Amino acid sequence: MGFTDKKLLSVLKKHGYKLTPQRRAVLKVLSSSQEHLTPADIFEKVQPEYPGIGLVTIYRLLQILTEFGLICEIHANDNSRRYLIRRQPEHHHHLICSSCGTVVDFTDCDLSGLGKRLSRETGFEIETHLLEFVGLCRSCQKEAT
Ligand SMILES: [Zn+2]
Ligand SMILES: [Zn+2]
Ligand SMILES: [Zn+2]
């Protein structure tokens, strides 16, 4: 189960963010997309309806949504960040296909041992971690052979 439009709106409202028509339009694009989108993709989709919208508005909203854990931030190969409405609210990571861009979520990361060792060795107080696997999905492997 993912977050619906309503959920997104209510979280933003609760935290005192103003829901301008532009922000609503960005949320609509995000929540109706199955694909992960770059800020430029979102801009392209919202711009015809709201010609005044700036990329900064989109970046800011994406940052807020990421902070509240409402969207997944995916760091793709080409250094661009892509965003996807979070399909599962709990802590999870991604497998990313470098060919077609398919993203698969997984939850069973077991990095607590590594975290403990690193914090012992470096003195870091570790808060969280990001983990992504990049490779070829099943159907892209088939295509390649
Ligand atoms: Zn995800
Ligand atoms: Zn693929
Ligand atoms: Zn994890």
Domain 1-88, CATH class in plain words: mainly alpha
Residue pair 56/69 in contact by the 8 Å Cβ criterion: no
Range from 6-20, 31-45, 128-142 carrying the lowest mean pLDDT: 6-20
The tokens of 127 are what?
């808060």
**Nearest ligand atom owner, CA of 137:** 2
Q: Is 60 exceeded by the pLDDT of residue 3?
A: no
Question: What is the percentage of the chain residues whose pLDDT exceeds 70?
Answer: 92
Q: Is the confidence at residue 1, as pLDDT, over 50?
A: no
**Nearest ligand (C-alpha, residue 143):** 2
Per mean pLDDT, which of 2-16, 45-59, 77-91 is the most reliable? 45-59
Check if 1-88 and 90-145 are the same fold. no
- Computed over its alpha carbons, how large is the radius of gyration of the chain? 17
Residue-by-residue DSSP string for 77-130: TTS-EEEEE-S--SS-EEEEETTT--EEEE-----HHHHHHHHHHH--------
Tell me which of 125 and 75 has the higher pLDDT: 125
Distance 139 CA to ligand 2 centre (A): 6
Question: pLDDT tens across 95-119, in order?
Answer: 989 888 888 889 889 888 999 999 9
* CATH class of the domain at 90-145: alpha beta
Instruction: Give the ligand at the shortest distance from the Cα of 89.
Output: 1
pLDDT at 4: 61
pTM summary value: 0.72
